[in-house]
Structure formats: C-alpha cells, structure tokens
Structure 1
C-alpha cells in the first residue's frame, strides 16, 4: 500500500486495538448462553473450548502448552472432557453466533454494517496474509478456518488470526526469557497492564500460595522487589520481551504497509472505544490490586 517506513511500535499499537475488540468475546454473556445451548456451562470449560476448538478435540496437555499461563490441573478438569459434551465444530458455530450477537450489542447495528467495518475487515485480512504458520499452533489452527462472509465476523476472524499469531510468538519469547506461565502473569500484572490477582486466581486456576511462590522466585532473580514492583532489571526484561515479540510479529504489519496500519489502527481504536464504553469488560479486570 505504501513504501513509507513502519514505525517500530506501529504493529504493537495496531494489535492492541484489534485485540481489545477480540477480547470482548470472552466476557460477553452471549458466549455463555450459546455454549450452554450446546451443553457447556462451566465458565472455564467455555473458555478452554472456544479458544482451543480450532485445534480439534485436543487433550489437556496441548491446551496447557498453547495457553501457557493456566494451571495444568485446572485445564485437566475440563479438557478433554468438554469434547464429549460438544464437538469442536459445534463450539465454533456457537462462538460465531455469540460474537455476532455481542458485536451487534456493543457496537450497534450501524457500526456493524458500516463501510468502515468492511474496510477494517479487508485491512486486517490483508495483514493476516503475511502471518507465518511455523511454530505457531493457535494461529495456524485458526488459519485453517473459513473466513466468514459478513464483514463484522470477518473482522473478528482476522483479529483472531493476528492475536494468536502474536501470542504464539510471545510465548516463545517468554520461554526464552526463563519466565514460566505464572511468572509471566506476575510480571505483567506488576506493569499495571495485566490482570489483577483476583482475576488470575478465578480464571487461571492459580492460588495465593502459587502467586507468592512465583513472587519469591522472581525476587530471587532480582526482577521483583519486596513490594511486588518490578525492579529496573525486571522492567528491562519486560521491555525486552515486548520488543522481541514485536520483531517476531512484524511481518503482517510490514505487509499491510504504514498507511494501511495507521488506518487499521484508527478504525480498530474507534471500535474498541465503543465496546469499552458499552461495558465490555469488568471494571476491576486490570491493574495491580
């Protein structure tokens, strides 16, 4: 689209806007209702099923590996048992119905059917053309799914591809940095941008004892201080993790081009703002408290 140079963090900013709208689906009441209609009622089972369904009827090990920051014992309580309740195909169909209803509620019919939504879908799908499959299981599995015809669902599909592509790369960087799943969560929360411990405990299966032990390990490495704040070394590690994640995720945004990325970020930001203003997320979801 353009030969202008892409700013170093332009892809990250674009991803953040796209991921905000994508993430609304996990908190939408429509998701619980649609999954309950196919027999899946436990909130954790819903979460594991909708995100892992593209992989097929996988076991707990595959989910723990690809999700990374969930306690394996929690995963194993629901996977693979969830596939005996509803097939991955049924789950994917239920998720599509839920996303359709949730986006119409959060954004409004005018936005869902707008030229801007169609434009955002085209741009996001264009960016996703450059995503790489190698060592990216969640991205690659979702890339096998058909692109929906309706623009708002195509946009959600594209945001899923871009989210999982970045996420798969991010897990490789976390592993290389020596942070296990819970340590990654603790250090992210310490930045003020991650989930609060309350939400980590309720959604990821970790306990206060697990959290305290992870904090102790991080203090031993000089990454966390006694108050639970990142040290200078901890800040540098988190900054390095994000920069390396940016590098591994650069191809889709270079493919789209600087002008396309700027436009997609603008459109994504407006959709995300509308959804957040409509109450898409719990007020206490992020922060350090």
Structure 2
C-alpha cells in the first residue's frame, strides 16, 4: 500500500538509522553471550552469528557467508554447522528475544516497557515492516516468518530487526551490483567520512591486516582509494551512490507507513536511543554513531 503522503528520502534514512540504533542495543550487552555460554557457545562472534542466523534454520557456513557478505568465510566456517549441535535455531531465537528483553529493560527502564510511547512505536514499526518485500531479501523473509512477540517492547524490537534486515538485504544487493566484494565493501565503508572505525570491525569479522591491505590495493586499482587509505572523489561518489541505491530499494516499508508515521517513529526511536545511551548501553567510542542527541548518527549502512 502506497500512502498519499510518501516520506522524503532524507526522512526515510533518518528513520532507518533511529530504528537500527534501537535494534542494535542487543549487540552491546552481555545478555545473549551469557545465555549462549550455557550451551557451550563462548566466542562473542559465534554468539552474534548464532543469534542472527536463528530464523534461517540450521544453515551451513556457505549460506551465512553469502547473506552476511562482509564476514570472512573461514571465520564463519569455524562456527557453522557445529554450533547447531549445541543449540537448535528455535532455542537460539528464544535466547535472542530474552536478551532483547533484558537489554531493553536496562535501556528504557522497566516501567516504560508497556507505556504508550513503546506501544505506539511498536505499532508504527510493525506497520512499516508489513510493507517490506520478501523477494530477494532472505534475511528479512526468514525473520518475517517468526510470530510477532506479544510484549510491546519485544514487538518493537522485532519490528526494528525486520526493518534492519530489510535494509541490509537491500544494501547487499546494491553492493553486489556495484561490483564490490564483501571485504572491499567493508574497507570502503570504514574509509568514508562517516564509516565505522576499522579497529571496531576488522578482526571481529575475521579479516587480517594482509586481507585488509589487499582489499585496499584492489580499491586503488579501481581509482577508489588513495595511497594513504582515504577514498578518492570517485570512491566517495560510489559510497554516496550505494546509499542512494539502498534507500531506493528500501523505501517500501516507509512508503507503506507514510510521512507522518515515519516522523512519529523517528522521534520515538531517537528518544529511546538517547535513553539507551544514558544507561550506558552503547560503548563510548560508538555513542556518536547510535544515539542522536549524544552525537552524530552514522550516515552510511555498515557493510
């Protein structure tokens, strides 16, 4: 359904960032890691991969590498399919929901979880997610098959996760069309003005210094990177074009919600992320990326 008041492109991007920042709170607490440790899953990235892939079922490393795009296959293969001998996908999904519950209780305060702002944000986010397109979006489609949690704060987190995966699938399609492999996409993102810090993502995704340098050389060969590791004008133009293309592919949920709904959802989620920042959920180096009002939110999709 296309509303009569479609939102502008800047409004859509701002909303997506606010929603993704709320979704991301679960990555910065120990709740999921502690739960998965009971199953013998003690590696932090193994826990991340297990939780995020749970809606897909007991997939192998090839599927995970293909869908996550910027993770080194050798690192992924160190966890899959062995992890499914320790925990089932259904168990992993329930542990992820429990982790989201614990995280949001600290981020927002228990008394806020059933209050009107959370209920309204959940309604708006679910309305947007209902406009998402499953075609060529496997992460979104798999997650969309899960039932909506009954608790308002978990319904909100679930809907935020749906919207995050819808954009992620859209972004990966744009990256592949542009001819960037997974590591080149990550390196060029980190080199951009608003990218995530290299030290935050390189080793966590399994890449070595040599891998990183080789990708930089490939980008230089295409005229996208300078000798000192910055993006050239062409590189900056490519990154901007990738975000514009991602926006285009990701518009359906926000057009379904409409301009007024997008503005309301943005304001609510930005307020929630400021509360999360005040509660110390985001690590200090990343507060500026995730909490509007505490700093500048990122202007690119990390991939």
TM-score w.r.t. length of structure 1: 0.96
Tell me if the contact between 1:9 and 1:246 (Cα under 8 Å) persists in the aligned partners. Answer: no
Which whole-Å deviations, capped at 9, do the CAs of 1:136-165 have from their partners, x for residues lacking one?
110000000000000000000001111101
CA distance in 1, matches of 2:96, 2:72: 24
Residue 188 of structure 1 aligns to a residue whose secondary structure is helix
Report the Cα offset of residue 192 of structure 1: 3.6
Report the Cα offset of residue 2 of structure 1: 6.3
Q: Structure 1 residue 272 and structure 2 residue 273: aligned?
A: yes
CA distance in 2, matches of 1:248, 1:21: 22
The corresponding residue for 2:11 is 10
Query: Residues 5 and 145 (structure 1 numbering): CA distance in 2 closer, same or farther, change over 3 Å?
Result: closer
Number of residues of Structure 1 aligned to a counterpart in Structure 2: 287
- Cα RMSD of the aligned pairs, angstroms, is 1.5
The corresponding residue for 2:224 is 223
Tell me if the contact between 1:64 and 1:70 (Cα under 8 Å) persists in the aligned partners. Answer: yes
The corresponding residue for 2:147 is 146
In the TM superposition, structure 1's runs of 4+ consecutive aligned residues that sit over 6 Å from their partners are none
Structure 2: tracts of 5 or more residues without a match:
290-297, 299-303
The corresponding residue for 1:159 is 160
CA distance in 1, matches of 2:46, 2:145: 23
The corresponding residue for 1:105 is 106
Report the Cα offset of residue 28 of structure 1: 1.2
Tell me if the contact between 1:35 and 1:95 (Cα under 8 Å) persists in the aligned partners. Answer: no
CA distance in 2, matches of 1:212, 1:73: 18
Query: Residues 171 and 2 (structure 1 numbering): CA distance in 2 closer, same or farther, change over 3 Å?
Result: closer
1:25-44 aligned at under 5 Å gives the runs: 25-44=26-45
Which whole-Å deviations, capped at 9, do the CAs of 1:182-207 have from their partners, x for residues lacking one?
11111111124333222223310001
Tell me if the contact between 1:38 and 1:90 (Cα under 8 Å) persists in the aligned partners. Answer: no
Report the Cα offset of residue 35 of structure 1: 1.3
Report the Cα offset of residue 20 of structure 1: 0.5
CA distance in 2, matches of 1:171, 1:161: 15
Structure 1: tracts of 5 or more residues without a match:
none
Tell me if the contact between 1:18 and 1:159 (Cα under 8 Å) persists in the aligned partners. Answer: yes
The corresponding residue for 1:121 is 122
Report the Cα offset of residue 14 of structure 1: 0.5
The corresponding residue for 1:259 is 260
The corresponding residue for 2:59 is 58
Residue 260 of structure 1 aligns to a residue whose secondary structure is helix
Report the Cα offset of residue 34 of structure 1: 1.4
